[in-house]
Amino acid sequence: MQLVAEARDLVRTYMRGSTEVRAVRDVDLEIHAADYMAVVGPSGSGKSTLLNLLGGIDLPSSGNVSLLGHDTRSLSDRRLTRLRLEKVGFVFQRFHLLPALTATENVELPMAEAGTPGSERRRRAAELLDYVGLGHRVDHRPGQLSGGEMQRVGIARALANRPEIILADEPTGELDQETGGEIADLFRRLNADGTPLVVVTHDPALADAASVVRHMRDGTLEPADGS
């Protein structure tokens, strides 16, 4: 099966004040085209750092990340940014929608950055909002949407440029249990429709929806079940 992202001997350290923090230690990981992987573990275990490294928004201190065949450390900031724009979809815990833009405009944003023509942007944004169940809220601004609705807009935005992988960092962290369950259903549907997903989460419902669950502790990825 096609390899979408791969980490080898991955290490990420950073300084917090005068203390060196080893957030990710010697991690090896493969993500394939049909995977829906949940990375779980206690707070501070390095899950988000690992996700950032896989998505090319952070670079390893040592080791390598291959994202869709590109070594992230060998790419310039410009090329890495372009790779994220075109091939990776990000979903954030705090949604990070632009408050001044409508749901449609927020979804259009990555497409506009990629140079997609306006008419095609609008058509696809409407299609994606419909897909996430927000066809009736297209002209609403984030301030007029519930947390669950905002996260659905965030997911539609992540899908805008037809990414080859979706990376979600605690996507239900700000939502109640019922809404979190709806997002888990949406992710399951997304994966069934062919999009590989890596989700960092504390939410058991979201982890249960994944086909692979990996545990992280103290920056280290525990061996996969059955390995």
Partner 1 sequence: MMNALSLAWRTLVRRPRRLVLFVAGVTVAAAVLLDMVMLAAGLQRSLSDLLEGTGYQVRVVPKGLLPFESGAALRDSRALARAFEADERVAEALPFWGQTVYVSRPARPESPIASFGYGAPAGTAPAVRIEAGRTVERPGEVLVERKLAERLDIMVGDSLLVGVDPDPAVGALRRRRIARVAGVADFTFAAEGSYNVGLVIDDMWAMAGSESEPAALLLVRVHREADAYDIAREFRERFANVDVYAIPEIIEAAGDRLTYFQQLSLVLGTVSLGVAFLLVTTLLTLSVNERWGEIAALRALGVTRGRMLTQVAWQGLVISLAGTLVGLGVGFVVARYLDRILTDFPGLPSDVSFFVLEGGDVTTVVALLVGTGLLAGLYPAWRAASVNISMVLREEIE
Residues that bind partner 1 (CB under 8 A): 14, 48-49, 52, 55, 57-58, 77-78, 81-82, 84-86, 88, 90, 92-94, 96, 98-101, 105, 108-110, 112-114, 118, 121, 157, 161, 169-170, 173
Which segments of 34-158 are extended strands (E)?
A: 36-40, 62-67, 70-71, 88-91
- Distance between CA 91 and CA 152 in Å, rounded? 9
Query: Rounded to the nearest whole angstrom, what is the least distance from the CB of residue 216 to partner 1 in the complex?
Result: 15
Nearer to partner 1 by Cβ, of 106 and 191: the residue is 106
**What is the C-alpha end-to-end distance of the chain, expressed in Å?**
18
Under a CB-based contact definition with an 8 Å cutoff, are residues 197 and 191 in contact?
A: yes
Nearer to partner 1 by Cβ, of 64 and 188: the residue is 64
Nearer to partner 1 by Cβ, of 66 and 161: the residue is 161
- Distance between CA 189 and CA 184 in Å, rounded? 9
Query: Rounded to the nearest whole angstrom, what is the least distance from the CB of residue 93 to partner 1 in the complex?
Result: 5
Query: Rounded to the nearest whole angstrom, what is the least distance from the CB of residue 36 to partner 1 in the complex?
Result: 21
Nearer to partner 1 by Cβ, of 114 and 212: the residue is 114
Please classify residue 139 by burial: count the beta carbons closer than 10 Å to its beta carbon, then call 0-12 exposed, 13-18 middle and 19+ buried: exposed
